[in-house]
A and B are shown apart, each in its own frame.
Chain A
Amino acid sequence: MITFDVERIRQEFPILRQKVRGKPLVYLDSAATSQKPQVVIDALSHYYQAENANVHRGVYYLSELATNAYEGTRVKIKDALNANSIKEIVFVRGTTEGINLVASSYGRKNVKEGDEIIISAMEHHSNIVPWQMLCEETGAKLRVIPINDDGELIVEEFEKLLNKKTKLVAIVHTSNSLGTINPIKRLVDIAHDHNVPVLVDGAQALPHGQIDVKKLGCDFFVFSSHKVFGPTGVGVLYAKEALLEKMPPYQGGGDMIKSVTFEKTLYNDLPHRFEAGTPNIAGVIGLGKALDYVAGIGYEKIAAYEHELLNYATAALSTIKPLRIIGTAREKAAVISFVIEGIHPHDVGTILDRDGIAVRTGHHCTQPVMERFKVPATSRASFAFYNTKAEADLLVKGIHSVIKLMN
């Protein structure tokens, strides 16, 4: 029996108290972006009200405060991910920029014509396009690990794809459109047997459970703040120090240098070498608060509660006859994609919205997944620990009204 006081947690998310079109908001789109607890909102305004100054520059009081808060968060994230050193934690704009950084810096240096990069069939566009761009530039080839009808990665096929030409594996931890949780450690071990480094897109992983980069063994891990209850516009790239050390800078500018003359520029030490320009200081501080908040509730408790929600919602939705769930992996996060026979997801989304229910409709930035399952789009309900079984019931009720209205 799980003791999880969801009502108390909901009180900490001010946005959840509001009504939408006269109905209580039922927010089932946390895989797109999560809502923010009051502590995170307060941290942002506190920073701007009491600590705002540029970091790593001033010798005055406020700059010291801001620098401490910013760098303090880096330590916090190093600990949260169980990284070896703060040198391995680079702040970026989000998962997308983190992947682009690796593709452009590590990729351009290490990937040559004829080489291969492996991704999977369930990647988000942000873990496809940067590699395609790199392949186009270098003449390398993109290889894709297929998935089965449940939306699970076919590991045997992955093993077959690895060869001497493989330079990198870039793989999603948890699929945003199918909910599938991939066996990352196993995949990393296999790749490492072939001396191939692995980048993990962790955008959907951290909201649902703790990440230990040492246990996973991955070489790069990327995630976004806004999906883990923090502000938008900030994310983290974890990279093993030995790799990062050899990577050329991604962007040039202030903060990433030690000294500049017109003849020669000396680059800064890690991780600052990869953080050109004034960073999103408030965002980083907010992310730190968000991670504190999640850790305060407890990752294990969250995972157990969400698992219960997923099972409950899956069972409830399965009672609707014309509804088909896309993505039925054994290991799954609380993300349910579905299609209803004869009714386009966009119509589903519009009608549910009138009941105050927010679901995502479309291809979820995973067009190849839609093609794999031969659907133009899906509706997707994604749950966070602030959602309730009662909300799952409202979703089911809403879908019944959709079916009634559209027939």
Chain B
Amino acid sequence: MDELRELYQQVILDHNKNPKNFGKLESANRTAEGYNPLCGDRIDLYLQVDDGVIKDISFQGSGCAISKSSASVMTTVLKGKSTAEAEQLFKKFQKLITSEHGAEPDLKEIGKLAIFCGVREFPLRVKCAGLAWHTMLAALKNEPIPVSTE
């Protein structure tokens, strides 16, 4: 049960129930669609990028608590960041959710993303947590094909 509590931390459950930046962003100039065929998790990501900075960001879709809260937290973290910073955070987040058991995350580097450290104990759920981030990268590159973390 402890691992489950760590996975489903209260903050994650809150984001799942009341996601931030949820809905379509009319001012978006970058969008991408993410889809996990196995789970049926779906996300549409909207970004407004001006001068290399993410001015605004939102998402829509359906999925499990992990994928939804990950998308929600991601939008709050990325708003105001440069695209280069977003790419760096993507790498750090990937490292966090796939790191070995016992490896302590560098809290300064990842801030509130640390709530997802429980995911690494659930290898089958890494794809759920990563979906929004992969979709974000695709949106920055303006890739037309839906991304998948399968």
Answer whether residue A347 sits at the interface, using C-beta atoms and an 8 A cutoff.
Answer: yes
Does A344 contact B64, Cβ atoms closer than 8 Å?
yes
Give Cα distance in the complex from A342 to B125, angstroms: 19
Question: Closest residue of chain A to B13, judged by CB?
Answer: A406
The reply to whether the CB of B96 lies closer than 8 angstroms to some CB of chain A is no
The CA of A406 and the CA of B63, in the complex, are separated in Å by 14
Interface size counted on chain B using CB atoms at 8 A: 23
Of the stretches B34-42, B46-54, B71-79, the one at the interface is B34-42
Q: Known contacts A362-B40, A370-B40, A376-B62; is A346 also within 8 Å of B128 by CB?
A: yes
Is the CB of B103 closer than 8 A to any CB of chain A? no
* A351 at interface by CB-CB < 8 Å: yes
Q: Does B3 count as interface, using CB distance less than 8 angstroms?
A: yes
List B residues 52-71 near A (Cβ within 8 Å).
62-66, 68
Residues of B near A330 (CB, < 8 A) are none
- B107 CB–A CB distance under 8 Å: no
The 8 Å CB contact of B39, one of A362, A367, A405, A406, is: A362
Q: Which residue of B lies closest to A401 (CB)?
A: B1
Would you give the shortest CB distance from B71 to chain A, in whole angstroms?
13
Known: A376-B62, A406-B8. A350 touches B124 (CB 8 A): yes
Given the complex, which residues of B lie within 8 Å of A350, measured CB to CB?
4, 7, 122, 124-125
Q: Would A376 and B124 count as touching, CB distance under 8 A?
A: no
Report the minimal beta-carbon distance from B61 to chain A, rounded to whole angstroms.
9
Q: For residue B64, which residues in chain A have a CB less than 8 angstroms away from its CB? A: 344-347
**A407–B17 alpha-carbon span in the complex (Å):** 9
Q: Are A376 and B1 in contact (CB under 8 A)?
A: no
Contacts of A363 in B (CB 8 A): 40
Q: Which residues of chain A from 390 to 407 have a CB within 8 Å of any chain B CB?
A: 405-407
Which residues from A are CB-within-8-Å of B124?
Answer: 350
Q: Which residue of A is nearest B3, CB measured?
A: A354
The chain B residues found within 8 Å of chain A, CB to CB, are 1, 3-5, 7-8, 13, 17, 38-42, 62-66, 68, 122, 124-125, 128
- Further pairs besides A344-B63, A344-B64, A376-B62: 17, Cβ < 8 Å: A342-B17, A343-B65, A344-B65, A346-B39, A346-B128, A347-B8, A347-B65, A350-B4, A354-B1, A361-B39, A362-B40, A367-B40, A376-B63, A377-B40, A405-B5, A406-B8, A407-B13
